[in-house]
Structure 1
Amino acid sequence: MTGREVYRSGPIRYAVAERFARPRPVPAHDTRPSGGEICPQPPSRLDAVMGPPLDRRPQGEDCLNLAVTTPARDAGARPVMVWFHGGGFSSGAGLMDWYDGGALATEGDVVVVAVNYRLGALGYLCLDGLSEGNLGLYDQLEALRWVRTHIAGYGGDPDDVTVFGQSAGALSIRLLLDLPEARGMFHRAILQSAPLAIASRPRAEAAALGRILLERLAVHAPGADPRTVSPAALLAAQRDTALAHRARSGSPLEPPFGPVPPADAAPGPHVRGMDLMYGWNADDMTAFPDDARDNRCDNGRDDARGRRRDGDPAGPTDRMYAEPLTALGKELVRAGARVHAYRLDWRPAGSEYGATHCLELPLLLGTRAAWRASPMLGDTRWEEVDELGRTVRAVWAAFARTGHPGTVRPPLVHHEVR
């Protein structure tokens, strides 16, 4: 990073919501400062890869908070980059130190907004009479409305907004492209390692999982109303539902609670005239060894972490990420978008995971302190991570500013999609 200072503001409450209800803007009379809560959640299933988060945030349902990082609170009208974190729709938070936008904001002269949204059953339970589903998605939409209204006061341009997200955050962006309500809220989008096959599930299947949740909740909190039961009991029932879903589906990658097709979605992505970029990491599936084994290549040469023993990228990565994303790219071009694609090929020395899922995150966001001892970084010194990160951050900032990634160098490979 350069020696320039950045202005950090947050946490800021961007919306309020009752349990299992859509979010709404913060009332004008509600002047309470944000407590900085993140959505109640279990430990991440990727702790072994990323390392557990080193910052501890209070968990609670007053969690619709965001943070803004900007080079200056002036009239600079800078490009705005709104971050939607991953975590399988069950863990993570925009307020985590992993997602500090200081380097990206400073080097790219952009405003970075990192968003919390509701997770798990609180965000994605879909069951008639209780929750319509997709509440986490509508939280993200409300955060974009906040950006449109307020970001000029933080040196940003509300008419130049790029959304970027990883994994579940990227899936969220894919679904927002279909929502008429989201049109005009952002102008460019970057989808990082989106497992498109699990972008959403049929409402009937989601409702069946919702009924399992209620059955398990009756065990953990007999007679309790799911609208008022403690978050701890809800998380316990959610854990049981996840185990039941895994036993039924056979996949550790697909979360028990996630989006359903939005009822008000338009047919096909509304992207005419938009700039979009998508990509994946060469060894994404090494983060999900059980799923890699379930989907091993026909020649049987995948090792236990989904890598080919000859060092080539795994077949599971191609099937889960490269092939579906490539098909999406062609669909977006047909729909009138200008589209670019990337692949991250960096394999850190001393890491058994290679170019794994989440590896681009410390190249974009966070600090030395946040990422220290992360297993996926292996033995790599932070100075090398930061130097590679400058290259990646420059590409993301150039895309946010112009719609084109500019000059792309290793560890990225780039091509324009036609």
Structure 2
Amino acid sequence: MTRSDAVRSGPVRYAVADRFARPRGVSPDDTRPAGAEVCPQLPSRLDAVMGRPRDRHPQGEDCLNLDVTTPARDAGKRPVMVWFHGGGFSSGAGLMDWYDGGALATEGDVVVVSVNYRLGALGYLCLDGVSEGNLGLYDQLEALRWVQANIAGYGGDPAQVTVFGQSAGALSILLLTRLPEARGLFRRAILQSAPLDIVTRSRTDAEDLGRMFAARLAAHAQGTDPADADPRTAEPATVLAAQRDTALAHAKCSGSTVEPPFGPVEGAGPLGSAGASPDAHVRGLDIMYGWNADDMTAFPGERGDPAELTRRMYAEPLGVLGERLERAGARVHAYRLDWRPAGSAFGATHCVELPLLLGSRAAWQTSPMLGHTPWHEVDALGRTLRAVWTSFARTGRPGTTVTPLVCGEVRRPGP
């Protein structure tokens, strides 16, 4: 079977939502066609590393849709892999060609689902009387409920769901493991380069940023339609302008080029039970986590040696997380990707594993992080990585790996 043999269905609507409202799952008799919209967003902070996406999608708020790629729409009961993209909770989309699951589906005989969710202020604004926050996380929950109810019709097994995601997508998955509402919606999880220091912010800080956003929005609306001063009715372009201003002000105050202004908030919505153990629901899950050896070269604005920054931001916190999850009853594996593409100034940087797992030559051919490495070399290593990921989705174990991918099982520390 070749990649072109995979059946790609989408976009498929999994939910609808009014602005700043929780999503509502679509009923089986809802026949409205899903559009190809992605959440309104500004250009990615990582364009210099990943390149600009070669495909273009209309931006709009009717964006709660997903793609399904399957070897066949039959009764195959294949493992299902649900992808949550990264982008700092402010950019990206599951519909992008970067995230085409054709290779994973055909080589691993799995069903791949790639999800859009709300981003930036539209997904994570926390502002009294306007938005409770964490709406993007609610979207992801609703997408997983859609998978449970519908994936058998695409040749998938709803009892064999693995969620996998990178950066902000990996942080989302970690939060999903903490939610009782998500229990039973997936069996396995893969966390790729999750920057744990920014997994959530306090509700107080989020509300401060929400008020800052509202003030920036009002400033942009001066002399225009008064409705543009209200977050609930402002034009998307005005929302994005206020979001950009808030991000610049936040970066100046925090000194961080990694931490986004809008993201998951403790004590809001599904994360409201702050007193519960964060690992109370991981028992029995298979979890694989890892990072890239030079993750922090993607963020040149951060002061310090990239190797030391990568150790502090990724390696050490993820190691602590792995031991904690293992103690809580999860079966845990770790990996580190050391691949440094020839001719790349970034090395084994943040996002460099993405073209090894998802997308195609056409989607990734202008990506700076790949340097001048020929695509046949990218694809050859990609086959190795894809085999590891799909083995984990099928068995809970990554299987045999070779350099430059270093894998191991997390062992419980001794007394």
- TM-score, normalising length: structure 1: 0.94
2:342 alignment counterpart: 349
SS at match of 1:131: coil
Q: Does 1:289 align with 2:294?
A: no
Q: What's the CA shift string for 1:160-209, capped at 9, x where partnerless?
A: 00000000000000111111000000000000000000000000000000
1:259 alignment counterpart: 264
Report the Cα distance in structure 2 between the residues aligned to 1:335 and 1:365, rounded to whole angstroms: 31
Mapping of residues 51-130 of structure 1, within 5 Å: 51-130=51-130
Report the Cα distance in structure 2 between the residues aligned to 1:387 and 1:252, rounded to whole angstroms: 33
Report the Cα distance in structure 1 between the residues aligned to 2:381 and 2:401, rounded to whole angstroms: 12
Q: What's the CA shift string for 1:343-398, capped at 9, x where partnerless?
A: 00000010000000000000000000000110000000110000000000000000
Q: Which amino acid letter does the alignment assign opposite residue 232 of structure 1? A: A
Mapping of residues 211-360 of structure 1, within 5 Å: 211-222=211-222, 223=226, 224-261=229-266, 262-264=271-273, 266-269=276-279, 270-291=281-302, 293=303, 296=304, 302=305, 306=306, 314-360=307-353
CA-based RMSD of the aligned residues comes to: 1.1
> What's the % identity of the aligned pairs?
76
SS at match of 2:278: coil
Runs of 4+ off more than 4 Å: none
Contact 1:180 1:264 in 2 (8 A): no
Report the Cα distance in structure 2 between the residues aligned to 1:264 and 1:3, rounded to whole angstroms: 44
Q: What's the CA shift string for 1:196-249, capped at 9, x where partnerless?
A: 000000000000000000000001113332111100000000000001101110
Offset at residue 268 of structure 1 (A)? 2.0
Contact 1:179 1:264 in 2 (8 A): no
2:47 alignment counterpart: 47
1:299 alignment counterpart: none
Q: Which runs of 5 or more residues in structure 2 are unaligned?
A: none
Contact 2:97 2:359 in 1 (8 A): yes
1:188 alignment counterpart: 188
Distance 1:127 1:368, change over 3 A: same
Offset at residue 318 of structure 1 (A)? 0.4
Distance 1:134 1:340, change over 3 A: same
Count of residues paired in the alignment: 400
1:384 to 371, 377, 398: 377
1:309 alignment counterpart: none
Contact 2:297 2:350 in 1 (8 A): yes
Offset at residue 282 of structure 1 (A)? 0.1
Q: Which runs of 5 or more residues in structure 1 are unaligned?
A: 297-301, 307-313
Q: Does 1:365 align with 2:370?
A: no
Q: Which amino acid letter does the alignment assign opposite residue 325 of structure 1? A: L
Contact 2:4 2:102 in 1 (8 A): no
Offset at residue 264 of structure 1 (A)? 3.9
Contact 2:333 2:410 in 1 (8 A): yes
Report the Cα distance in structure 1 between the residues aligned to 2:153 and 2:107, rounded to whole angstroms: 20
